Structure 1
């Protein structure tokens, strides 16, 4: 199993997308936010918007890029292809099943092992260079962190546009919980211009 550098980061899943609304698997399809998704991203700005993040990165898929802009009030420093959601192959745009086959390899898609390797390599490249980045992406990223923590990607779907704190604990564990103001108190704040 690949190892993730043991440094904390803030994570924001994109706001509600058209695929979320229709309960369909988006995967790497480039679907937009709904009006509710835009409102959710604006709501996240209450916690994220005045932080002078050392790095704001997002998946290049529109739903993540737009969420980053709305939640921080500015464009991400960069868009990173390695943060894209898992490619679900033939399952993309199909209804979300009651039990997702996370560990199986979808026809024409990305295997779980390849997805984990991609996400960990992408996160490591960011975490080795930057302390406490804000990463805006997709629910699959949190499933990878769960897998690294417990050996299973199973668990509740990550809420749309609710800032999360992802931090190492103990010698191998990972904590995933809602972001608190105290988590980013060490970061400078943006000055308000009038």
Structure 2
């Protein structure tokens, strides 16, 4: 499956309680930590200056809370398909126990099923909206990296670090740059 060739900005949610304690969050509905609330508020001067066609989150609380603080006056839509990967029996375990992406966790979701689910949602969003802001999870960012660069292995995206994805004629077909509140 490919990604529609349309512009968008992606931001990972702010720090959750599970992030703060270095545990695997996945499907677990971990709220933002106090640090996470402040991170989301600190992102508002960058994210709330642009009039997004829509702000999209997953149905997990940490993405919705991030949107609430980072883009308080924007319309939001929550997509179940944008939830983080289901890590099954590893949910809540120390992050050191996370398996390679191509290994399906016990009672969890395979990488292929996760990627298919996420790409389906992203393509629907991109087909319906001209300039969406997508606030989701590091796993969703890894799906984007896999589709564009051929591997899910990349540095973990920082909390509320907005990245613009703009179609281009370059080799990988995308200009991927930090979003600073304007498009260059």
**TM-score category (smaller protein):** over 0.9
Counterpart of 1:181? 181
Unaligned segments of structure 2, at least 5 residues = none
Q: What SS does the corresponding residue of 2:167 show, helix, strand or coil?
A: strand
Deviates more, 1:67-76 or 1:173-182: 173-182
CA distance in 1, matches of 2:109, 2:75: 26
Counterpart of 2:66? 67
Change over 3 Å in CA distance of 1:50–1:181 after alignment to 2? closer
Q: CA contact under 8 A between 2:84 and 2:139: conserved in structure 1?
A: yes
Deviation at residue 53 of structure 1 after TM alignment: 1.1
Counterpart of 2:112? 113
Deviation at residue 141 of structure 1 after TM alignment: 1.0
CA distance in 2, matches of 1:105, 1:98: 13
The alignment's TM-score, normalised by the length of structure 1, stands at 0.88
Deviation at residue 162 of structure 1 after TM alignment: 1.4
Cα deviation 1:112-152 (Å, max 9, x = unaligned)? 00111111110000101111101111111110011012221
Q: CA contact under 8 A between 1:90 and 1:107: conserved in structure 2?
A: yes
Q: How many residues align?
A: 183
CA distance in 1, matches of 2:23, 2:145: 22
Counterpart of 1:128? 127
Q: CA contact under 8 A between 1:28 and 1:88: conserved in structure 2?
A: yes
Deviation at residue 99 of structure 1 after TM alignment: 6.8
